[in-house]
Amino acid sequence: TQLLEQSPQFLSIQEGENLTVYCNSSSVFSSLQWYRQEPGEGPVLLVTVVTGGEVKKLKRLTFQFGDARKDSSLHITAAQPGDTGLYLCAAYPVSWEIIFGKGTRLHILP
């Protein structure tokens, strides 16, 4: 069974602080994606990382794919209340099926 383990499960921090969340697996994937999901809505794709060691930046969000393509991290600089949400990492064991981690529920306090 291919699993994506995310940590921490919950994170509540003050506005302006930095944070990192993690996604780990024992399997190698051709790519890994991060989605953000707000309450009552579907997940929205943030980024896809493909190459081992790849780093992608999306404004204050920095995504990294591990060298062995088994893990990934998401770093948020100077968190804002608008960053609040459920962050899901996702991978494709086959092209037509995503597997998701359980997610990190992030709450930014103003």
Question: Counting contacts by CB under 8 A, is residue 56 touching another protein?
Answer: no
| Helix, coil or strand: residue 21 | strand
Smallest distance from the beta carbon of 77 to another protein, in angstroms? 24
Measured CA to CA, the distance from residue 35 to residue 98 in angstroms comes to 12
Question: Counting contacts by CB under 8 A, is residue 110 touching another protein?
Answer: no
Q: Which is nearer to another protein, 35 or 63 (CB)?
A: 35
Q: Which is nearer to another protein, 85 or 103 (CB)?
A: 103
| Helix, coil or strand: residue 81 | helix
By CB under 8 A, what part of segment 17-36 binds another protein?
Answer: 30-31, 33, 35
Question: Counting contacts by CB under 8 A, is residue 61 touching another protein?
Answer: no
List Cα–Cα distances, 79 to 53, 62, 66, 84, 91, in angstroms. 24, 12, 23, 9, 26
Q: Which of 19, 45, 13 is nearest to 32 (CA)?
A: 45
Smallest distance from the beta carbon of 42 to another protein, in angstroms? 3
Number of residues near another protein (by CB under 8 A): 26
Is the dihedral angle over the CA atoms 77, 78, 80, 84 positive or is it negative?
Answer: positive
Question: Counting contacts by CB under 8 A, is residue 100 touching another protein?
Answer: yes
